[in-house]
A and B are shown apart, each in its own frame.
Chain A
Amino acid sequence: MSAEAAEVLIVEDSPSDAELTVRALRRFNLSSRVRVVESGADALDYVFARGAYAGRDQRPPRLVLLDLKLRKVSGLEVLGQLRAAPETRLVPVVMFTSSREQGDVEPCWLAGANSYVAKPVNADAFEETVAAIGHYWLVLNRQPPDSPAAEAGG
């Protein structure tokens, strides 16, 4: 699986949240090519195909679900590096986090997040939310033609 480029990258340090997210995407047949990484550092290694992911298919994911509170490299830092690199600056990044604090939302938007979605605690709501995100970004949304992801998806 490491050789194959993922459609959706989930950056999530809670294994249960990660599993529930993957399950929801699969359940609604939105994507089977999902990659889960547990830290910000791993996320960057994966996206830029370095470290443990050196030599992988370099196409960037079509969607990144990025948790905010991560160990070592925070979600906000990951977002900043994605936006700074030419090859990833247009990759859709949806902040997907427990926090509903207004103070957490604004910095993400300023750093170039495409969306900010709070994770519902209620399982039904959680599933519906993940499905809505997947449906919008992977089905409805069109990415610019010069985006490598668009070529990959098309």
Chain B
Amino acid sequence: MPRSRKRTPATAAASPRRPARKAPRQSELLEAVVNGTTDAVYVKDVEGRYLLFNSGASRLFGKHADEVLGRDDTEVLQPEDAGVVMADDRRVMESGRTMTCERCLTMAGGAKIWFLITKGPVFDGRGKVAGLFGISHDITARKQMEEKLRKEQTLVRALMDNIPDQIYFKDADSRFVLISRTQATRFGLRHVGEAVGKTDFDFFTEAHARPAFETEQEILRTGLPVVDIEERETWPDGSETWVSTSKMPLRDEDGSIVGTFGISHDITERKRAEEQIRSLNAGLERRVRERTAALEAANREIEAFSYSVSHDLRAPLRAIDGFSKALRDDYGAALPPEARHYIDMVRSGTKAMDSLVNGLLALSRLGRQALLRQDVAPADLVRGLVEELAPERRPGQVEFVIGDLPTCRADPTLLRQVFANLLENALKFTSKAERARIEVGSAEREGETAYFVRDNGVGFDMRYSGKLFGAFERLHSAHEYEGAGIGLALSYRIVTHHGGRIWVEAEPGRGATFFFTIGSGTSDVR
């Protein structure tokens, strides 16, 4: 096309001599393209010197055509870029073929621009390579986007390939779109891609696949996620695993739900540990029950033993006392005074023994009785007891002082028994005092109300107070003070049965004070 070599398209288009021509000339069209495009368009001769440098090139390279025309790239581009570009140019001219490549070049201002470059040879009239043309299209934005996507993909891949959890994306029919490598491994797949299009029904038994499917369909309907639900996965080989799962709706760009995705964390070990703890606990509870039952059986045996012993002991006692009395009644007159005294001694022995047996029975009965707590006014109990004990006290020689006795929740019969034992004790140990004084009252001890019974009797050495509350322990010889020695043991059992404590403060010759608390009453079972 010889006309194409004419380089005055603008003047030609404006020529008044050819107003009738409707179609513009080819060179005019080319000029319009070259000047109109935002791409860089340029032509170089065989030496690499610029022959054409359009406005797009000026804008992109930041240089005027004047600065460029007649010069080569060593003067136009950065030195390292120039080497690359000139090598490209040589390849084009040597091969005589058009090529396309992507190059990143540093512009005059320092900005780096990615170009999609198409270069081809320019021939002279004889078909010989006379230079080359180039079109460079700025693809920096696309490149950046690609880079960003690539980076994101790397992150997603890293996540999907390495996380030990199962991650999965599914379509609206619960078919896998993408799964993590861990999940592929659990499915027995060599490649994650093998799962695509399959569903849970292909990998699990119905027992897990069905509810999982229904959960996902529910999410698709409602758009509501499920978070941290525990799922039992049942596998075709009969094994079971447990996962903690969160599933969410998967939305497209418009926000419509197109599927689901989720993450499942294996908690099989934890579940097994929990199961183990549960079975251990159950075993422990069973052992506690067994031991308790054994203990209760042993207790019942002891109680049955003391019950029957007490009963069996009564019959011979009755015989001893009965025939001693018969002897005295029927033949007393014929006996010397000493013999009658011996009979009296036998009878007083049986009396003491009877009292012991009764105490033992009361103690065994206490173990078998349920506590019946109710509101009790100890003041009434104590006044009643003082009345009852009147015959035992020497008139005018015992002074009773009843102080403040707040009400409490206790078994009234048993509480009465404690006060009775302590009052009898106090009477016993003041029997030799010239003026006996017995005081019943209450005091605060460690945040609790403690009742006390105080006497001014013989008292005792506190070193032996620990022995006081055991059955049949006595600190005084029977000669000095009569008594079964079981009253305090009984009181101790009653008080501890209520959840309270009992203790004593005393000094030899200076009286004794017995304290006890009765517990809050919150722990008893009714």
Question: Chain A: residues with CB nearer than 8 A to chain B?
Answer: 14, 16-17, 20, 23, 69, 98-101, 119-124, 126-127
Assembled-state Cα–Cα distance A23/B327 (Å) = 12
The answer to whether A124 touches B314 (Cβ under 8 A) is: no
Top 4 closest A-B pairs, CB basis? Answer: A16-B319, A123-B325, A20-B322, A123-B321
The answer to whether A124 touches B325 (Cβ under 8 A) is: yes
Assembled-state Cα–Cα distance A14/B318 (Å) = 11
How many residue pairs bridge A and B at CB < 8 Å? 52
Q: Which residues of B contact A14 (CB under 8 A)?
A: 315, 319
Assembled-state Cα–Cα distance A119/B319 (Å) = 11
Which B residues between 323 and 372 are near A, CB-CB below 8 angstroms?
Answer: 323-326, 347, 350-351, 354, 357, 361, 365
Determine whether B317 belongs to the interface, using a CB cutoff of 8 Å to chain A. Answer: yes
Which listed residue (B307, B318, B350, B361) contacts A20, Cβ 8 A? B318
The answer to whether A121 touches B325 (Cβ under 8 A) is: no
The answer to whether B319 touches A17 (Cβ under 8 A) is: yes
Query: Can you name 28 A-B pairs with beta carbons within 8 Å?
Result: A14-B315, A14-B319, A16-B315, A16-B319, A17-B319, A20-B322, A20-B323, A23-B326, A98-B311, A98-B314, A98-B315, A98-B318, A100-B361, A101-B365, A119-B314, A120-B318, A121-B350, A122-B350, A122-B351, A122-B354, A123-B321, A123-B324, A123-B325, A123-B326, A123-B347, A124-B325, A126-B321, A127-B325
Q: Which residues of A contact B323 (CB under 8 A)?
A: 16, 20
Evaluate whether A126 and B307 lie within 8 angstroms (CB atoms) in the complex, with A23-B326, A121-B350, A121-B354 already known: no
Q: Which residues of A contact B324 (CB under 8 A)?
A: 123
Q: Which residues of A contact B307 (CB under 8 A)?
A: 101
The answer to whether B325 touches A17 (Cβ under 8 A) is: no
Q: Which residues of B contact A122 (CB under 8 A)?
A: 321, 350-351, 354
Q: Which residues of B contact A120 (CB under 8 A)?
A: 318
Q: Which residues of A contact B318 (CB under 8 A)?
A: 16-17, 20, 98, 119-121, 123, 126
The answer to whether A123 touches B322 (Cβ under 8 A) is: yes
Q: Count contacts on B: residues with CB < 8 A to the other chain.
A: 21
In terms of DSSP, what is the predominant structure of the interface of chain A? loop
Hey, what's the 0/1 contact readout for B499-522 against A, CB within 8 Å counting as 1?
000000000000000000000000
Q: Which chain B residue lies CB-closest to A21?
A: B322
Q: Which residues of B contact A16 (CB under 8 A)?
A: 315-316, 318-319, 322-323
Q: Which residues of A contact B319 (CB under 8 A)?
A: 14, 16-17, 20
Q: Which chain A residue lies CB-closest to B365?
A: A101
**A20 CB to nearest chain B CB (Å):** 4
Assembled-state Cα–Cα distance A121/B357 (Å) = 10
Q: Which residues of A contact B315 (CB under 8 A)?
A: 14, 16-17, 98
Q: Which chain A residue lies CB-closest to B328?
A: A123
Q: A98-B318, A121-B317, A126-B318 are in contact. List 5 more A-B contacts (CB 8 A).
A: A20-B323, A119-B314, A119-B318, A123-B318, A126-B321
**B186 CB to nearest chain A CB (Å):** 67
Q: Which residues of B contact A124 (CB under 8 A)?
A: 325
Q: Which chain B residue lies CB-closest to A99?
A: B311
Assembled-state Cα–Cα distance A123/B344 (Å) = 12
Q: Which residues of A contact B326 (CB under 8 A)?
A: 20, 23, 123
Assembled-state Cα–Cα distance A99/B322 (Å) = 18
Q: Which residues of B contact A126 (CB under 8 A)?
A: 318, 321-322
Assembled-state Cα–Cα distance A120/B357 (Å) = 12
